[in-house]
Amino acid sequence: MEFRYYQMSAGSPILALLGQKWVQNYGNDVDYLHFHNYLEIGYCYGGNGHMVLGEEEERFYGGIVTVIPPNYPHTTNSDIGTVSKWEYLFIDVEGFMKKFLDNPVKAEKVIQRIYSRALFFEEKENLSISEKIRKIMDIMRDGEEFFLEEAKGVLAALLVEIARLNRGSGEDKVAEDAGKLTNMITRVLDYVSYHYMEDIKVEDLANICHISETHFRRVFTSYMKMSPLEYINTVRVYTACELLETTDAPVADIAHKCGFTTNSTFNRNFKQQMGVTPLEWRKRPESYEQQLLRFNIHSEKGW
């Protein structure tokens, strides 16, 4: 299996596997499940075989489109003696949406919708999404002036459309209670973004919402899929990442500026979220942004 990589600049939300060397022949000897850390979008130009998506198995052929969330087990196998032709996009959805949308609550909602399920459909079944996928692939392959900016514009429309497609049948587009909850959470997130360097207590956040601390913890965790303290530390760690990459300040000073009272607490939270220590991050910050194909079950040769 051979691919030509079109590696974008650091921080780009898109990595594409495109070009003349995108012919792959899996055969039946490659039947292991694997998953990626980024959203995988695939387009099949030709060939036949079967794809395993979690516990489901589907037959693929030319014109099939796949959208597979991060950490979703899957594999693709061509029929014996045949060759399948695919192109892929790997998308840093979280990094992109959090920059594209100025409302962190809305960004999180879009991200969760996109990650809610894997999609497998014929191109003609959803021409709007299929055309945007093909458009991004063409833009990335051609590499014309301002191509990355153009691709990001189409990508924004694509991700929003996928989020709409994944809306649950029971969800109301406009719900008064949901709106009140969103506004409440937004106030809290705004407060954390301005005061993360201070000693924030969960009780303070509950007071902002005019509810009890117990009720606030339950509501926040249900909405954000993490506890208030986890969110605060996430904001602090991501801010530390930027300071480690863009300044020469000592690690201890950065820890203090980001609201961590001790170096040990900073190091523990940083490694838990980023997988490396602050010093390791400073030495190779690009490794986290560019390792878009990090397999957790099996690493294919050449990937």
- The single-letter code of the amino acid at 243 is L
pTM, 2 dp? 0.56
- C-alpha distance from residue 271 to each of 155, 176, 266, 267, 268 (Å): 31, 40, 9, 6, 5
Q: What percent of the chain has pLDDT over 70?
A: 80
Q: What is the pLDDT of residues 144-172, one digit of tens each?
A: 999 989 999 999 999 999 999 998 754 54
Neighbours of 106 (CB within 10 A): 13
**Inter-residue contact 78 to 48 (CB < 8 Å):** yes
Q: What is the pLDDT of residues 264-276, one digit of tens each?
A: 999 999 998 888 8
- Cross-strand pairs, 78: 49
Q: How confident is the model at residue 10 (pLDDT cuts 50, 70, 90)?
A: very low
Q: How confident is the model at residue 294 (pLDDT cuts 50, 70, 90)?
A: very low
Q: Where are the domains of the chain?
A: 2-166, 171-225, 230-293
- Taking the CA atoms of residue 142, residue 42, residue 90 and residue 189 in that order, the dihedral angle to the nearest 10 degrees is 120
Average the pLDDT over 39-45 and give the result: 93
CA–CA gap between residue 43 and residue 254 (Å, rounded): 44
Q: How confident is the model at residue 12 (pLDDT cuts 50, 70, 90)?
A: low
Q: How confident is the model at residue 54 (pLDDT cuts 50, 70, 90)?
A: confident
CA–CA gap between residue 270 and residue 220 (Å, rounded): 22
Q: How confident is the model at residue 229 (pLDDT cuts 50, 70, 90)?
A: very high
Question: CATH assignment of 230-293, given 1.10.10.60, 3.40.50.10420, 3.40.50.300, 1.10.3720.10?
Answer: 1.10.10.60
Q: What is the pLDDT of residues 174-185, one digit of tens each?
A: 444 555 677 788
- Cross-strand pairs, 64: 122
Q: What is the pLDDT of residues 192-220, one digit of tens each?
A: 988 999 999 999 999 988 889 999 999 88
- The CATH architecture one would assign to domain 2-166 is Sandwich (2.60)
